[in-house]
Amino acid sequence: MRRLAGKVALVTGGGSGVGRAAVEMFAREGARVAACGRNAARVEETIAAVRAAGGEGLAVAADVSSDGDCGRLVAAIVERLGGLDIVVNNAGVGYDYELTHPGAMADLASTPPASWQDVIAINLSSVYNVCRHALPHIFAAGGGAVVNVASIGGVMGMADAHAYSAAKGGMVNLTRSMAVAYGPKGVRTNCVAPGSIETKMIRHRLSAAGDPHLADATRFMVSPLGRVARPDEIASACLFLASEEASYVNGAILVVDGGTTATWS
C-alpha cells in the first residue's frame, strides 16, 4: 500500500529543489499532488514529470504571499483534485548570491524596509495565507497534515539573515501553535528544519571559492557528514511527517541538517 494513497496534497514552491522533489515523491506514494509557484513553466515541468511517471497532478501559478492567489489556488485544487488533505508550505527565499533578494541575509540595520517585508511575506505570511484557505477543507476531510519547511536558521540566532531568521523562527512557533489548536480536529502540524541543501545557490558558493581545497573545506564545514543535503533527503522528511507513519507526531520540529546544529550546542 502506498503511503499517501487516496490523499490530495499541495506543495508550495513546487517548481524546483525540495518542492519538486516532494511533489514527485508524494505522487509516487499515491497522492494526487498540486504544485504551485510563481514561475508557471517550472511548476508545469514538475507536474509533467509526475504525469510521465503515471501520477496525477495539477500545476498552478500562484504567489503565496498574496492572499487572493492562495484563495484561488486552494479553490482550484478542491475543484480539480477533489479535496485537500495535506499541505507542505515549502515556498521561501533565502541566501541569493545573485542578489535578487539581498535583504534575506542582511542584518537588521542593513535591511531596507521593502526587503524585510518581502522576506516576511514570502517566508512566513504565506503559511497564514495558504492555511487560512486550506484548513476548512482539511477539517471537512476529517483531518490531515500540515508540514512547514523552516530552517535551522529559525531555531538558532544568526549574525546576519535577520529577516530570514525572524520569518523561519515565526514559522517554527506557528507550527507549534497550530499543532495545539488543530490537533483536536485531526490535523497534525509539524515542521522540517533543514540545514544547507544542494541548490544552485550553494553550488555557486562552492564554485566561487576558486581554490578546490577551500571549496572542499567549505563543503565539509556545512555539516559533520561532510556534505550538504540533497533535496530528496528533505522531501523524505516531509513525506514521513505527512504520512500515517507519523500519526502520533504533532508539533515537532524535525531538524534535518547532517548534524550541523549538534556542533553549536
Residues marked as catalytic: 164
Q: Please identify which residue in the block is written with the cell numbers 479535496.
A: 83
Question: Distances from the Cα of 41 to the Cαs of 49, 141, 161, 169, in angstroms?
Answer: 13, 31, 29, 31
Q: Please identify which residue in the block is written with the cell numbers 485537500.
A: 84
Q: Are 175 and 124 in contact (CB under 8 A)?
A: no
Measured between alpha carbons, how far is 195 from 218 in angstroms, rounded to an integer? Answer: 14
Q: What is the DSSP string of 172-216?
A: HHHHHHHHHHHGGGTEEEEEEEE--B-SHHHHHHHHHT-SHHHHH
Residue type at 11?
V
